[in-house]
Amino acid sequence: MTQHTQPSNLPTDLHQLRESGWQSTTIKEELRRNMLAQMAAGSERYPGIVGYDETVIPEVDLAVIAGHDMLFLGEKGQAKSRLMRSLVHFLDPWIPYLDIPGTPFHEDPYHPISRAGKQYVAEHSEQDIPIAWWHRDERYAERLSPGTKFADVVGEIDPAKLAGGVSMSTEDALHFGLIPRMHRGIFAMNELPELDELVQVGMFNILEERDVQIRGFPVRFDIDVLLLFSANPSTYNRSGKVIPQLKDRIGSVIHTHYPRDRALGIQIMEQEAGIDLGGEYPVATPYFMREIIEQITVQARKSKYIDHQSGVSARFSIANYRTMIASARRRAVVLGESPAVPRISDLGHLYSSSLGKLELELMGSHQMSERQVLDSVIAEAIQTVFEEYVDRHGLEEIGQIFGRGVKIEVGDMLPSSQYAERLKRVPPVWEKAFEVNAAEVEQMRASCVEFVLAGLHALDRISRSQSHGTQVYEIE
């Protein structure tokens, strides 16, 4: 965890705190106040969140302003966790708490909720009540539902304390879970439908009464916490997975989605991949190769062979993009080429970053292996992107460079100069269509050649054979 340097001018005792004019507020009031201030100032409120400006973001804004606990409902890889974590930006940078022994909470100095906190404040003068400060980054905690027990998130009677002579009827006998310990903070529960029903009942009680009750312990703790949940629609809407009382008390349901267009998907892919394309071994990626990587994900989400309820995460694009760049960079280093330029043949390595990320649809008669499904999806993606270029620039102009009766071998480790030998002249339309300097840079020319060959093969214009990691296209 990042260590934050506390400002030196903050009050250190309760008297100084009162003199400073600090006002106590609830977590939801704090979030609302800061969000409205950022909104009025026109500042960026959700850094790194792309494609949700007109859909998801307004719903999150309204939920915060309304003071609602929230459920983020969507398929995997739709930035649900990032959205939940982004709410930390609407917390005050630092808040004060009672720096005293015996309390398990970061107590509001004006309104302690534990017996130890109340007693200490009652028995000491304000100058003798120490104050410490809690950074906003530490006021967020999250948990994954599978395997989570009641004691983990709510609490339990502590046998060790009972063995030490503490009475079971006192607060000191309790061990508090994550939610009570996030008093005055944000707690997020991922994959809500996988949460044990007993724990759901405990969460429902916190949502309903804002208190914690452990094994019938008679004292109620007025917990101040914002509760966030995430879930996949296919499991959340399944009968019996989430108790109705809990569903009923979640203030707002925020529906997330995948990027609505490919350009947004590419923007997210490049942003999240975080690859340095410069340095000693630079990489120049034609836009059509980025389009193909994202289109593979788009096609996977449409495929009848892939489980739509599970979804295909944005991480699928990110991992494949990284693999493609890695393959191109490896070739460039081995062959001494610069810059490295990704080609269609680099997609032959996507098995390593794709397999395991697709959940196959097992119903019906369409039984295919994951590799076969991936091959089909990649072929469809290449065809889709190539057809878009053909529609804009014409099939004959794009493909005219290849004479009949020739064979062209391609592969991820073939030198770019071998492609250049096949192309004595680059058609002007290539420069216009692909927006790359194919006429001047051999590596770009190789990438364009492979794209056109693969596209022509997808349109059944030329034949292809494969052997030992290379492919041979034949223009008959």
Q: Residues 342-365: pLDDT tens digits?
A: 999 999 999 999 888 888 876 643
- pLDDT, tens digit, 9 for 90 and up, residues 83-109: 999 999 999 999 999 999 888 889 999
Which range (164-168, 211-215, 387-391) has the least confidence? Answer: 164-168
Within-domain flag for 9: no
Within-domain flag for 4: no
Chain centroid, CA 159 distance in Å:
39
Residue 29 and residue 81 share a domain:
yes
The mean per-residue pLDDT over the stretch 306-322 comes to 90
Within-domain flag for 6: no
Residue 431 and residue 334 share a domain:
yes
Whether 112 contacts 118, CB under 8 Å: yes
| Cα-Cα-Cα-Cα dihedral sign, residues 120, 121, 122, 125 | positive
Q: What 3 state SS string does 53-75 have?
A: CCCHHHHHHHHHHHCCCEEEECC
Cα–Cα distance for residue pair 158/29, rounded to 1 Å: 34
Residue 466 and residue 442 share a domain:
yes
Whether 360 contacts 307, CB under 8 Å: yes
pTM for the complete prediction? 0.87
Query: Does the pLDDT at position 26 exceed 60?
Result: yes
Tally of structural domains, the chain = 2
Query: Does the pLDDT at position 219 exceed 60?
Result: no
Within-domain flag for 8: no
Residue 282 and residue 241 share a domain:
no
Residue 267 and residue 246 share a domain:
no
Residue 245 and residue 290 share a domain:
no
Percent with pLDDT over 90 in the chain: 55
Contacts of 382 (CB under 8 A, 6+ apart): 292, 344, 451, 454, 455, 458
User: How many Cβ atoms sit within 10 Å of the Cβ of residue 300?
Assistant: 25
Query: What amino acid occupies position 327?
Result: S
Q: Among all chains, which residue has been given the structure tokens 């003798």?
A: 128
Cα–Cα distance for residue pair 169/171, rounded to 1 Å: 7
Residue 351 and residue 213 share a domain:
no
Whether 279 contacts 96, CB under 8 Å: no
| CA-wise closest residue to 386 among 472, 460, 301 | 460
Which range (106-115, 196-205, 430-439) has the least confidence? Answer: 430-439
Cα–Cα distance for residue pair 197/150, rounded to 1 Å: 10
Residue span of the structural domain in which 103 resides: 14-255
Residue 241 and residue 226 share a domain:
yes
Q: Could you say which of 215, 235, 255 is where a domain stops?
A: 255
User: How many Cβ atoms sit within 10 Å of the Cβ of residue 150?
Assistant: 18
- pLDDT, tens digit, 9 for 90 and up, residues 195-212: 888 888 878 777 776 666
Residue 250 and residue 122 share a domain:
yes
- pLDDT, tens digit, 9 for 90 and up, residues 251-304: 999 999 999 999 999 999 999 999 999 999 999 999 999 999 999 999 999 998
Which residues are registered as beta bridge partners of 231? 73
Please count the helices (runs of H) and the strands (runs of E) in the chain: 20, 12
Q: Could you say which of 255, 290, 308 is where a domain stops?
A: 255
- pLDDT, tens digit, 9 for 90 and up, residues 454-466: 998 888 888 888 7
Residue 284 and residue 247 share a domain:
no
**Residue 325 banded pLDDT, cuts 50, 70, 90:** very high
The mean per-residue pLDDT over the stretch 149-154 comes to 81
State the Cα angle at 378 between 454 and 451, rounded to 5°: 25
Residue 302 and residue 440 share a domain:
yes
